[in-house]
């Protein structure tokens, strides 16, 4: 048995969920995977809620939120979206959790603060910056859930999309059939990239016109003063 730690438990939990689905995860089954009693796990994760929150944080910890010198804000948002999608596609079993449980750990909030700082420095208000991150994040989670998510408890019941496309009634739905058979909506990566570009364009337009809580708050003004040399 490998040395037990919080990280080792979460690694095992991710592997379990990827193989069996989130609906089958329990402390007892996870303990069996690790060769220990379930009660032993509570020393590292005090309850099932902590386990689920830990899973979300564990999977999303690889998302690249670190600002890079000279990077423009659209490139930052695009990179975050691509990185988040990759992290979720690597562990689709955790998607139902990520879509319903916020990431609130201190280390995750540190990374979010760094991304907010980049947006803030380019003219976003704090609220606009957070809205931009939320828009990109929630879309990415939703798109990836539609792309690779599995129904809890029915992970093997995936729809046969190839059969659906081949059986489309072109006479009844000519435009839909023509679009799908030409590749429209069937390439997940292309659809995702197109949608992210559209979202970033909209975010930029909203920032330029002051849409979405564009006025700086007293708290933001205080932050700006504190940052001045």
Q: Which domains does the chain have, with CATH numbers?
A: 6-46 (1.10.10.60), 63-227 (1.10.357.10)
Inter-residue contact 59 to 14 (CB < 8 Å) = yes
Please indicate whether residue 192 or residue 148 has the higher confidence score (pLDDT): 192
pLDDT score of 91: 93
pLDDT score of 180: 82
pLDDT in tens, 110-129: 888 988 998 999 899 999 99
Smallest CA-to-CA distance from 181 within 167, 196, 194 is with 167
The 10 Å CB-count burial string (b at 16+, else e) for 75-103 is ebbbbbbbbbbebbeebbbbbbbbeeeeb
Inter-residue contact 1 to 31 (CB < 8 Å) = no
Mean pLDDT, the chain, integer: 85
pLDDT score of 223: 52
Q: How far apart are CA 26 and CA 15, in angstroms?
A: 13
Inter-residue contact 34 to 4 (CB < 8 Å) = yes
Smallest CA-to-CA distance from 31 within 12, 17, 46 is with 12
pLDDT in tens, 157-188: 566 667 777 788 888 989 888 888 877 777 88
Q: Please check the confidence at residue 192 and state whether its pLDDT lies above 70.
A: yes
Map tokens 């949608």 to a residue. 195
Q: How far apart are CA 43 and CA 57, in angstroms?
A: 18
pLDDT in tens, 74-113: 999 999 999 999 999 999 989 988 988 887 777 778 888 9
pLDDT score of 110: 85
Q: Please check the confidence at residue 72 and state whether its pLDDT lies above 80.
A: yes
pLDDT score of 136: 96
Inter-residue contact 85 to 136 (CB < 8 Å) = no
Inter-residue contact 150 to 18 (CB < 8 Å) = no
Global pTM reads 0.80
């Amino acid at each position: 048995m490998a040395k037990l730690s919080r990280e080792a438990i979460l690694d095992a939990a991710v592997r379990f969920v990827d193989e069996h689905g989130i609906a089958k995860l329990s402390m007892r089954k996870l303990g069996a995977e690790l060769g220990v009693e379930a009660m032993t796990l509570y020393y590292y994760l005090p309850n099932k809620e902590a386990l689920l929150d830990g899973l979300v944080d564990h999977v999303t910890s690889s998302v690249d939120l670190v600002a890079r010198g000279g990077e423009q804000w659209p490139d930052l948002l695009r990179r975050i979206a691509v990185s988040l999608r990759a992290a979720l596609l690597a562990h689709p079993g955790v998607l139902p959790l990520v879509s319903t449980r916020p990431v609130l750990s201190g280390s995750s909030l540190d990374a979010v603060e760094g991304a907010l700082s980049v947006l803030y420095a380019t003219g976003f208000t704090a609220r606009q910056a957070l809205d931009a991150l939320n828009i990109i994040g929630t879309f990415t989670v939703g798109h990836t859930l539609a792309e690779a998510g599995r129904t809890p408890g029915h992970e093997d019941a995936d729809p046969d999309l190839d059969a659906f496309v081949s059986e489309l009634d072109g006479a009844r739905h000519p435009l839909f059939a023509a679009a799908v058979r030409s590749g429209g909506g069937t390439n997940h990566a292309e659809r995702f990239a197109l949608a992210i570009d559209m979202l970033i364009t909209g975010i930029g337009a909203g920032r330029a016109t002051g849409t979405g809580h564009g006025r700086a708050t007293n708290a933001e003004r205080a932050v700006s003063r504190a940052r001045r040399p």
